């Protein structure tokens, strides 16, 4: 995975470090999830409304996202079922935290496993 720094493995979690530029494309998040990553740590200069929206969207791959910046921070937990992802954001100089269930983030389902011929033909 070009551009993604090596994973950090802890007893119950696998983390990846992303530059913000990788968040602009879905493939790095999918690749990290396929390699067993539970949480992507991302740095950016400013945490804008658009970046918050994109960070939340990347959780669809069952990969939690934590973003830090000069203007604030945020953590996005993977969605449960069809619900919106859990989100905790704070401004500059504040601390945020969220609990991530790594048993849930390890349950991966990918669209490349879907047989579209069976799905789309009656």
User: Is 42 among the domain residues?
Assistant: yes
User: Is 1 among the domain residues?
Assistant: no
Containing structural domain, residue 53: 8-120
Q: How many domains does the chain have?
A: 1
Q: How big is the chain by its Cα radius of gyration, in Å? A: 15
Q: Is 57 helix (H, G, I), strand (E, B) or coil?
A: helix
User: Is 3 among the domain residues?
Assistant: no
Is the backbone of residue 93 left (phi > 0), alpha (psi -120 to 50) or beta? left
CA–CA separation, 75 and 55 (whole Å): 8
CATH assignment of the domain containing 114 = 3.60.110.10
User: Is 75 among the domain residues?
Assistant: yes
pLDDT value, residue 46: 94
User: Is 105 among the domain residues?
Assistant: yes
pLDDT digits 0-9 by tens, 63-119: 899 999 999 999 998 877 667 777 888 888 888 887 777 777 767 665 555 566 766
């Amino acid at each position: 995975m070009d551009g993604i720094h090596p994973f950090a493995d802890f007893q119950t979690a696998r983390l990846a470090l992303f530059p913000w530029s990788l968040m602009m494309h879905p493939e790095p998040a999918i690749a990290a999830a396929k390699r067993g990553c539970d949480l992507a740590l991302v740095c950016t200069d400013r945490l804008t409304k658009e970046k918050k929206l994109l960070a939340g969207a990347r959780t669809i791959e069952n990969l939690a996202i934590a973003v830090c910046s000069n203007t604030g921070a945020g953590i996005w937990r993977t969605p449960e079922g069809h619900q919106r992802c859990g989100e905790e954001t704070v401004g500059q100089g504040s601390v945020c935290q969220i609990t991530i269930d790594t048993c849930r983030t390890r349950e991966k389902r990918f669209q490349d496993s879907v047989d579209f011929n069976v799905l789309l033909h009656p």
